[in-house]
Every structure is written in C-alpha cells, then in structure tokens.
Structure 1
C-alpha cells in the first residue's frame, strides 16, 4: 500500500467521525503512521493540518444541515462536536463571514469557503522514487532573521515570503531558508509554524525582523528539482514513502525541517530550479 492510499484511508476515517470525537492518534492509526510523521505527511498532501481540515469539513457539513435540513443552530452545533451554541457561532462566522442563524434564514450556501471531502487520485512519481538523501554529519548552527507565521495552509507560507521580500531587497543568489517547525505536543487544535529567513550575517540591521537559531546537527538532505508547486510531492515522498523504509540507524528529530535555496534556485516555476530539504537527525549509529 502506498502513502496516498493510506492518506485516503485517513480521509475516509475522518468522514465517518465528523459527528464524533476523534483524536490525532486515531486518525494517524487509520493511516498506519505514527502521529509525528502523519501530521507532516497530511499537511504536505492536503495543504491543511489535520485539525484544520476536520474543522473545515465539520463547518461545511454544518452549513449544509442548516441550509438544507433546517435544523436548529443548537442542534447542529452539538451534532458537529461544538461544546456550545456560542463556540459554534464564533467558528462559523469566522469561516463563512455570517452567523449560522443568518444562513439558516436565507438558505444560501457560502460558495467559496466550503471544503468538500478531498478525493486524492492515485499518484505515482518514478522520479521521486529514485531520490536518496545525502547525509551531512555536522552542519553548523544556523542564525536566521525573517518572518514567521502560524501555518494552517500553504497561503500562510507564501505570505511569509512576501513579507520578507517587502522588507529586504533579496538578491538572486542569496541564501534563503524556509523552516517548518512542529509543536512539542501533537493534537488536532495545534498549528505548525513557518519561518522564512536569511542568514543574520547577510542582513545589516534587523529592525522589525524576528530571529531564529537552529542548533548544530546532522541532516539528511533531499534535493528537489523543478517548480516549487511540486515541492509538496518531494515532502510526500520523504514522509510517506522513504521514511517507512529508512535505516534504523537514522534517529530523526521531530521538531522541524527546512528548505534551503541558493544560486541553484532559478525561480519558482523554472524546470531546472534546485533546492534542498534538510531533515535533522539526532544520531546515526
């Protein structure tokens, strides 16, 4: 069974649990992964964290129930796992731009903010299946400056880079780092954090910028060639396929990974662009 099929199992499990309590452990188990690897894989496949995806699906089905079945707001709130009428109203209004009572009266569905169940096609990528990482045993500490954002979707990542580009006149060959940080504790309500930055030494004056230090570490380095739109395919390969067959000697560090861009990166859509994904390793026996 490949990782896309396993994610499909997880999505099917989520659909069956939209009106029930569900934990990250249960969803990850349905996919056959540990929760640590599953959170990363799910994000890179769907563009959503597990918790955010479940929340959007529940609110979408709640909107349908209010519009088509004319159930009461309180009944729908409790059906889709909200603890109170007030909590449901806040989440619903934030998502759709109008309170549930207004949608119930009008019967008009919010078209562009609905999230239907994701149907994943069967994917095979022969090129990705041939990727083998380079092991870098002792990468020095990295001191970066840039911008961070709580990451609930890929649009947040784009926003980080846009902010950095507005603040700093980045040169074409400048070294850039995109760091995806994962929480210490894993649960459905948690987001990842993304940091877009450059080395501190390459920027004079850090006013208004955030700083981030990554410890010295060994890394497994995976190359990615081509459009950044397909970067998620490389992540899917790493966390969905390669990691399930990784050597037992590689003790991966679950807190973060990062993308590295330099002069070999020729642009977001250039077919020969090259960047690198660094996965920290605690130890290699």
Structure 2
C-alpha cells in the first residue's frame, strides 16, 4: 500500500505544482509510473476521486488562496491555474465555492478546500494469480456505455452462426480499454469477442484481437452484472495496493463463464482479468 500511496502523492504534488501544465491521463500515468490502461482505475479506487476532480479541486484551492491572500489580477489567477479565459474560470470557481471570484476576493477569507473521505470497502470476492495463455479473439468493436455492449455481442453471435464458427468458439470475452469514471460514456472503447483457434480465419467485419499470455490477477464475481463496478473497485482499491504486484500494459477483460440464458442473475459467474507485470528477475 505504501508504494501506491507514494505514487498517488507524487501525482498530487505534480498537479499542485503544475496547475496550468499537461494534466492529461497519459501525463499523470507517467508521473505515477503506472500503465496508462490502469492508472486511472488505481487512482480513482485508492482516492475515491477521479483525476479530473482532483485537478479541479487543487486548481480551485490554489486560485482561492491567490484571490484571498494576494492582489494578483483575476486574468492572471485564471491563467496560473490552467484556464485560458476568465469566463470558464469564473464558472468553475462558482461551481466549487458558490460565489464568483470577485465576491470571494471581497470577502477576504481563505480556507483549504477539503472533501469528504471515500467510503470504506471490504473484499467480498476471491482473487487468484494465474499464468494465463494468449487468447485470439474474433471481435466486434463497441463504442459507448459498457452496459450497451450486448448489442455488439448480438452482432458477433449472428456472424458466428452465419459463418458456422460456433463449433470452434471458446470463451466469451469482453475487453474494456477505458475507465468509465475518466472517459465520457460515448467515448468508451470495448470489444465483444469469442476465442477462436489460430487456424480459423477472421474476416471483416470481425476484428482479430490478441490478448497476450502472462501472469494475471483474476477476480471471480458471482452475481448480477450490475455488481461488476464494485468488484473492479475492490480489485484496484483493496487487492492491488496490498499485493506487491504491478498492473501490466494491456487492458482488463472479462470472461463470462455462464450467461443469463443459462442461470439466474444470482448465479452468474464472471472473471475479471487484470494483466500483471512479470517482476521476477531475468537470468
């Protein structure tokens, strides 16, 4: 946990010291020395706050100090905390403090801008570390809310039937590239896929996706799919920081061991796979 805390604190320091700099997810992932696929899930799960919320909070805290304790002109305050114009800064400041920057300056009081701590969690799902094989998937791409990926699976299933690939199909898998708390719903990227052997052709509109072999943390979620977001939070907030493991450089994916057509919602079994770095020294 201490290792991950130090990385998060490094990110907080970076945001505080560079409020007008590049605070994109990729830039902050580099500061944290974490995979861009998993940085934001780790940050959000550990802090209970998205990076966007942290950036705004620290920017507003810095701006409020400048307004209350210095005579720096308002346009300069806005630029110093990363806002190109006074109008957008004023809007963000009012949303945070309930008053305009001018009114805040006139009041002349400054207090740190705190937030409520996140709710405590406990692990309710088992996690195993496995050496997993590479998986070759025949996929349909989906863009948008993850809970709408069923449409892509329906298209995929139809193509598997019309091309007589059903007898060759292995596991049904969903690959998820983005963190829903960091990316707008309309821009979330995912793939709906079935495992296929190497000797079976994959032709458009199907796409081939290769999930690399390697060590993976596997959380087995039992119950409705609606419980999966909480399972991800447990994996990234509780298990990963205490595991001495490092997330790898490929996306998380879900393996569906059964389906709502076969069992009740309470008996659904879904594996969440988190790729891990191989931390063993090389000979």
TMscore range, shorter length: 0.5 to 0.7
Residue of structure 1 aligned with 2:28, choices 17, 24, 31: 24
C-alpha distance in structure 2 between counterparts of 1:35 and 1:245, whole Å: 11
> What displacement does 1:106 show?
8.8
1:222 deviates by 0.8
Residues 142 and 191 in structure 2, CA contact (< 8 A), matched pair in contact too: yes
Task: Indicate which of 189, 193, 196 corresponds to 1:199.
Answer: 193
Which residue of structure 1 lines up, in the alignment, with residue 129 of structure 2? 133
Q: CA deviation at 1:177?
A: 0.4
Determine the structure 2 residue equivalent to 1:161: 147
SS at match of 2:249: coil
**In the alignment, what sits opposite 2:177?**
180
Instruction: Give me the TM-score of the superposition, normalised by structure 2.
Output: 0.54
Equivalent position SS for 2:234? helix
- What do you get for the CA RMSD once the two structures are aligned? 5.4
Residue 223 of structure 1, aligned match among 219, 229, 237: 219
Q: From the superposition, tell whether residues 212 and 17 of structure 1 become closer, same or farther in structure 2 (CA, over 3 Å).
A: farther
For residue 75 of structure 1, report the CA deviation from its aligned partner: 3.2
Alpha carbons of structure 1 residues 7 and 280: separation in structure 2 relative to 1, 3 Å: closer
What secondary structure, in the 3-state scheme, does the structure 2 residue paired with 1:35 have? coil
**Count of residues in correspondence between the two structures:** 233
> What is aligned with 2:236?
235
Deviation by residue 1:117-141 (Cα, 9 ceiling, x = unmatched): 462456554x56x6322322x2321
Cα distance in 1 for partners of 2:20, 2:59 equals 14
Per-residue CA distance 1:30-88 (angstroms, 9 max, x = gap): xxxx33365441144457653x2343324654886899999854133134244x43xx6
Cα distance in structure 2, aligned partners of 1:61 and 1:147 = 39
Aligned to 2:56: 56
- Map Cα deviations across residues 85-111 of structure 1 (whole Å, 9 max, x no partner): 3xx645776x6999xxx955898xxxx
**3-state secondary structure, aligned to 1:119:** coil
- Seen in structure 2, the aligned counterparts of structure 1 residues 141 and 3 have a Cα distance that, compared at 3 Å, is same
CA contact (8 A) 1:18 1:57 kept: no
131, 139, 153: which one aligns with 1:144: 139
Gaps of 5+ in 1: 29-33, 108-114, 150-158, 183-188, 247-251
Structure whose alpha-carbon radius of gyration is higher: 2
Residue of 111, 117, 120 corresponding to 1:119: 117
Q: 1:118 to 1:167 in 2, by over 3 A?
A: same
Contact map agreement 1:179 1:195 (CA 8 A) in 2: yes
TM-score (ref. length: structure 1): 0.54
Q: Structure 2: any 5+ residue segments left out of the alignment?
A: 105-112, 158-170, 197-202
Correspondence 1:91-130 to 2 at 5 A: 103=100, 117=115, 119-120=117-118, 123-125=121-123, 127=124
Aligned-partner SS, 1:77: helix
